[in-house]
Amino acid sequence: MAPWGYEKDNGPAHWHKDCPIANGKNQSPIDLINGEVKYDSGLKPLTAKYVPFSDAKFLNNGHSVQFQPSAGNGSELTGGPLAVKYNFEQFHFHWGNNDTEGSEHRVDGKMYPAELHFVHWNSTNPSFKDAVGSGGPNGLAVLGFFLKVGAENAALKPITDLIPKVKDAGTSVTVPSNFDMQAILPATLTDYYTYDGSLTTPPLAECVKWIVFKQPLEVSAAQMEAFRSVINRDGKPMGGNYRPPCPLHDRAVKTSFK
Ligand SMILES: CCN[C@H]1CN(CCOCC)S(=O)(=O)c2sc(S(N)(=O)=O)cc21
Ligand SMILES: [Zn+2]
């Protein structure tokens, strides 16, 4: 099979050939249907403590654009549905070629123009790779934020301003050390959906505690256009790098809000 992607000849409908778990019962993303979720008063806010990175890269890996520190620096996530501390690994984006599509999760069938994923791994594992392979839904915790078009996002501007430098697949730049990742997050991480799922790209491992925030973040039209200028390994616009929703099967989606 050609390396996986999002085109007709290598997109999500083909992924099961290399990753049979694609047809598993705990796959992501899903459509978050408000009439079918269940409020859980035990779901408290999350706490993300992100400390500045001295040596982080922003890169185009052919499937997304991704902020990736070279090594852990003590940035961590706790609280909410999480029983232990998770270490920050990377963040990346999924987006569409127009404002009517682009997010991976949907809310009552609605797609947002983009979705931002903050990936964290369970610190009881010796490494990130072990966490991915640890089996069960507690290996990774991924925070999902919908992006909608509105005011310019000042916290994301240092990142979206770097996009022209990573237009081509396989390119990367160093992120200025004064980049404040914490500023991207809302002040309180309260209203979210959470469910047990998977990576939304190969290897599609069912190792993810998904935490998707109800309140979208805003980015400007210019910031959305920056994403749409990114090119994939085939030299085509990367927009459309989202997997369609997967069956829920017998999973429950819980909410921290009524
Ligand atoms: C393009 C490959 N994307 C993967 C890469 N990683 C997994 C593979 O790791 C190998 C040890 S990952 O855990 O960083 C990760 S998280 C998500 S998502 N969209 O579900 O938040 C996809 C991916
Ligand atoms: Zn993702």
Residue 200 lies in a domain: yes
- Residue whose tokens read 């990936």: 119
* Within-domain flag for 19: no
Per the CB < 8 A criterion, the answer to whether 245 and 106 are in contact is: yes
Q: What mean pLDDT value characterizes the chain? A: 97
Mean pLDDT within 157-179: 98
How many whole angstroms separate alpha carbon 82 and alpha carbon 87?
12
Per the structure, the count of domains in the chain is 1
With respect to residue 1, please indicate whether it lies within any of the assigned structural domains. no
Q: Is the CB of 199 under 6 A from ligand 1?
A: yes
**What's the CATH code of the domain at 87?**
3.10.200.10
Nearest CA to ligand 1 atom 2: 201
* Residue 120 appears among annotated catalytic residues: no
Question: Which ligand 1 atom is at minimum distance from the Cα of 89?
Answer: 14
Q: Which domain holds residue 114?
A: 26-255
Provide the whole-model pTM.
0.99
In a domain, 14, yes or no: no
Given the residues 16, 63, 120, 249, select the one marked as catalytic. Answer: 63
DSSP sequence for 13-46 = TTGGGT-GGGGSSS-S--EE-GGG-EE-TT-PPE
Ligand 1 centroid distance, CA of 34 (Å): 27
Predicted confidence band of residue 200 (pLDDT cuts 50, 70, 90):
very high
Does residue 6 form part of some domain?
no
Pocket test for ligand 1, best of 201, 212, 233, 243 (most atoms within 8 A of CB): 201
pLDDT digits (tens, 9 = 90+) for 214-245: 999 999 999 999 999 999 999 999 999 999 99
Tell me whether residue 9 is in a domain.
no
Nearest-atom index, ligand 1, CA of 104: 19
139 falls within a domain:
yes
Asked whether this complex has an ipTM greater than 0.90, the answer is yes
Q: Check residue 40 and give its pLDDT.
A: 98
Asked whether residue 20 is assigned to any structural domain, the reply reads no
